[in-house]
Structure 1
């Protein structure tokens, strides 16, 4: 048999008044559900507005056939984390210092500064901006280009996106992008190089885009280009044509992505939002995809 939860509830509205429900029943997929999740289900199912406090009372579980069909059930959005974890001592790029992550104020030292039983930790982070999974703005390459504070929020968040399968390729040319709907999209290039993250192999002979690919992406008017590799350019020499071309056209770049194998070819949104720093062109992001 399938699992259902039975409960009473009391809802208060922020503009006054309230409603109650007794012996309310809800289909659940697991063996239990939290009061917070139940409250969210009630508010969503009843399409309530101005909801304040919600009390869940007399909750218990029964085995009973579900009343809703799969078509009736809501389909919540799914978030896919596309960022590497930044930790103390992580080397993202050889020659650049690793981050130092420590306490500025430890919990132990905070005791005595507040009432008994209250303690806090305040962290201190020292790092270069090219650490972990990060986004490049035009200022990274161009002195008078837009920095993180000058790029509109819409350029970082909820971008319609497509995934380009370039797994096992090293030089990724324009042909990988032809015949696809990429205008005004975030284009994420999957190479699967992220499997080498935090190893010596990550830095050598990594996949990259060619100059011709960058020129084609500019012609097609894409909004952002991401890659799950060590660099979007070929780092075996001193030339950086892809950064030069894309950032010169105000097309943002995200490097060191991961988990791109979990993404569909299209029909999802991509976000990579950095802090709003003035005078900085690159910074770590929590990149993620939103799937319907």
Structure 2
């Protein structure tokens, strides 16, 4: 069995618009912290060392994470949209389908026609609960400012094309699932149409699905199909997203 890590490391980088903050408490400091309630310090501990700890400040959308329907809007399919802790576990352990979209221009979004064409070349029909991974190559910009701006995004129509076929989880190796923020805002200024703003996300108000953002190493998966994806999200109360350690499992 081969396991391929498809997640980025949670850390401070230029690619995160909201910086991840990590405060490290080393073993000596940890001893002082643990001993304080009893009035002792590190000198009471073996080798003057206790236990280390880290304090982390970040958003639910930092690093590799899964967006729940509640992120897209308060309602989905006419019902209260599910938050991350409410989602069925079995959505997140299924057959994977890797679609390579890395050859197209970075300023062109992934369309339904492109997905359909590539699946035809693969001789594969999407089935319900497949976990679809869209490789664009944008993860090469991770840790760089360009990570926030240079990626393709997915159209509403492409999202709908997959979701109506029973897909519940769609992943991509870029900062966001829709087009870059600056591109959507620029288009809105020109057209003055609300449909220009986060269209793939907002489709999630109509049909229930999740998206994985900020995947990595999709180029390391040697198969387009015939592998399994595990991507269980962390349970966080009443949140629209949760972090995930996404793994491709290949039986060899």
TM-score (norm 1): 0.67
Aligned to 2:125, the other structure's residue is in SS state coil
- Work out whether residues 136 and 151 of structure 2, in 8 Å CA contact, stay in contact via their aligned partners in 1: no
Aligned to 2:4, the other structure's residue is in SS state strand
- Work out whether residues 82 and 258 of structure 1, in 8 Å CA contact, stay in contact via their aligned partners in 2: yes
Aligned to 1:207, the other structure's residue is in SS state coil
Aligned to 1:188, the other structure's residue is in SS state strand
Greater strand percent: which structure? 1
Q: Which runs of 5+ in 1 are unaligned?
A: 1-76
Q: Which residue of 2 aligns with 1:116?
A: 46
Q: Which residue of 1 aligns with 2:101?
A: 166
> Which consecutive segments of 4 or more residues in structure 1 shift more than 3 A?
none
Q: In 2, distance between residues paired with 1:120 and 1:93?
A: 30
1:215-262 residue CA offsets vs partner (Å, 9 max, x unmatched): 211221112100111211113114111112246422110011111111
Answer yes or no: is 1:243 the counterpart of 2:235.
Answer: no
Aligned to 1:125, the other structure's residue is in SS state strand
Q: In 2, distance between residues paired with 1:224 and 1:111?
A: 43
Q: Which residue of 1 aligns with 2:2?
A: 78
* Closer, same or farther: CA 205–196 of 1 in aligned 2, 3 Å: closer
Picking from 83, 86, 99, the partner of 1:150 is 86
- Work out whether residues 141 and 244 of structure 1, in 8 Å CA contact, stay in contact via their aligned partners in 2: yes
Q: Which runs of 5+ in 2 are unaligned?
A: 36-43, 75-79, 186-196
Q: Which residue of 1 aligns with 2:58?
A: 127
Answer yes or no: is 1:98 the counterpart of 2:19.
Answer: yes
Answer yes or no: is 1:253 the counterpart of 2:211.
Answer: yes
Q: In 2, distance between residues paired with 1:195 and 1:291?
A: 23
Aligned to 1:135, the other structure's residue is in SS state strand
Deviation at 1:116, TM superposition (A): 2.4
Picking from 97, 110, 113, the partner of 1:175 is 113
- Larger-Rg structure: 1
* Closer, same or farther: CA 221–254 of 1 in aligned 2, 3 Å: same
Aligned to 2:126, the other structure's residue is in SS state coil
Q: In 2, distance between residues paired with 1:257 and 1:92?
A: 13
1:67-88 residue CA offsets vs partner (Å, 9 max, x unmatched): xxxxxxxxxx11000011112x
Per chain length, whose mean CA-contact separation is higher, i.e. which structure has more relative contact order (CA < 8 Å, sep 6+)? 2
Greater helix percent: which structure? 2
Aligned residues: 211
Deviation at 1:203, TM superposition (A): 2.1
Deviation at 1:198, TM superposition (A): 1.5
- Work out whether residues 155 and 200 of structure 2, in 8 Å CA contact, stay in contact via their aligned partners in 1: yes
Picking from 260, 267, 277, the partner of 2:236 is 277
* Closer, same or farther: CA 116–207 of 1 in aligned 2, 3 Å: same
- Work out whether residues 177 and 201 of structure 2, in 8 Å CA contact, stay in contact via their aligned partners in 1: yes
Q: In 2, distance between residues paired with 1:98 and 1:278?
A: 22
